[in-house]
């Protein structure tokens, strides 16, 4: 049996209502607008009257009409003042966005350059297989060093021969001018001198001879006694420092100047012209 259509009781319709509201759920919205007329024939009065509220839920107040509008027909158009503010903020953020893009491009370029440099270095290392040069002291003789004299002033001269070994097959070494060497006993510098400039080819061993001289060096009584005691024992410890600016030749290309620092611990049996090396040990470092 079909229920008769719902007919709103006329006694609940006020003679004139100035506004009505609509309720919006997930698919509907509530709006309030003015009624232009209180005539029952006006289109707004023909809308569906509010359904009775469910138990436990508050319904619309009496005399309220509900107009159901499909969700797809609700147009979300911002008011004019919001549209102007949106345009203003959009124009403000545009320069910042361009700066971010440029910064990202810059970082990408730097990362690419680092990657390219790393790949190039790895390829060069695999192709040339560089090896460290080796240094050792071949001979060490002393002149003008008389410990039997009572004088505390000495002017010694050290004739030193250094053996430089370049084990590389594809790399040559240019030893430039400005090289020098010093010889020390404890903290006393006994002599200084320069090293010759030359080019050392691939797979080459070169003996460098140099003279390190000192003048008017005053020894303390403690240093004099220690040297005499070491000579009696046949073990006089000395230190040799060498500094040489070099350039590597890789193929047809020369590198920038690199400073080679060689430190040698040398022990001789005496400090005479006929002195012999008892032990020696050299290590080296570079300043790029």
Position 145 scores a pLDDT of 83
Higher pLDDT, 205 or 83: 205
How far is Cα 258 from Cα 223, in angstroms, rounded to an integer?
A: 36
Number of CB atoms found within 10 A of residue 135's CB = 20
Position 220 scores a pLDDT of 87
Higher pLDDT, 3 or 136: 136
Quickly state the pLDDT bin for 37 (edges 50, 70, 90): very low
Exposure letters 13-26 (e unless 16+ CB within 10 A, then b)? eeeeeeebbbeeee
- For residue 262, is pLDDT > 90? yes
Quickly state the pLDDT bin for 58 (edges 50, 70, 90): low
**3-state secondary structure at position 240:** strand
pTM of the model: 0.58
Mean pLDDT of the chain: 78
Quickly state the pLDDT bin for 239 (edges 50, 70, 90): very high
Express each pLDDT in 176-186 by its tens digit: 999 999 999 99
DSSP state of 147: T
Average pLDDT on 104-112 reads 92
Average pLDDT on 43-72 reads 58
Tokens representing 21? 């509201």
Selection from 169, 159, 141, 192 nearest residue 249 by Cα? 169
Cα 197 to chain centroid, rounded: 37
How deeply is 103 buried, as exposed, middle or buried, from its count of CB atoms within 10 A (0-12, 13-18, 19+)?
exposed
- For residue 110, is pLDDT > 50? yes
Quickly state the pLDDT bin for 287 (edges 50, 70, 90): confident
**3-state secondary structure at position 209:** strand
């Amino acid at each position: 049996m079909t229920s008769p259509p719902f007919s709103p009781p006329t006694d609940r319709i006020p003679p004139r209502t100035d506004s009505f509201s609509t309720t919006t759920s997930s698919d509907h919205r509530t709006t309030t607008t003015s009624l232009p007329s209180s005539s029952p024939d006006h289109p707004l009065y023909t809308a569906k009257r509010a359904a009775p509220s469910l138990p436990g839920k508050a319904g619309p107040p009496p005399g309220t009409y509900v107009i159901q509008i499909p969700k797809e027909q609700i147009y979300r158009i911002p008011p004019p003042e919001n549209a102007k503010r949106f345009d203003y903020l959009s124009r403000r953020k545009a320069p910042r966005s361009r700066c971010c893009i440029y910064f990202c491009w810059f970082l990408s370029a730097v990362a690419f350059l680092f990657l390219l440099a790393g790949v190039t270095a790895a390829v060069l290392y695999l192709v040339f297989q560089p090896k460290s040069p080796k240094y050792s002291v071949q001979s060490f003789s002393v002149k003008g060093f008389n410990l039997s004299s009572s004088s505390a002033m000495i002017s010694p001269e050290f004739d030193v021969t250094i053996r430089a070994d370049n084990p590389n097959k594809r790399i040559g070494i240019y030893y430039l001018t400005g090289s020098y060497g010093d010889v020390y006993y404890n903290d006393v510098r006994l002599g200084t001198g320069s090293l010759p400039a030359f080019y050392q080819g691939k797979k080459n061993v070169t003996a460098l001879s140099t003279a390190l001289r000192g003048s008017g060096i005053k020894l303390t009584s403690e240093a004099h006694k220690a040297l005499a005691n070491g000579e009696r024992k046949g073990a006089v410890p000395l230190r040799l420092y060498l500094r040489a600016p070099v350039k590597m030749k890789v193929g047809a290309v020369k590198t920038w100047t690199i400073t080679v620092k060689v430190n040698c611990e040398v022990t001789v049996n005496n400090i005479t012209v006929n002195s012999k090396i008892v032990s020696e040990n050299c290590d080296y470092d570079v300043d790029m």
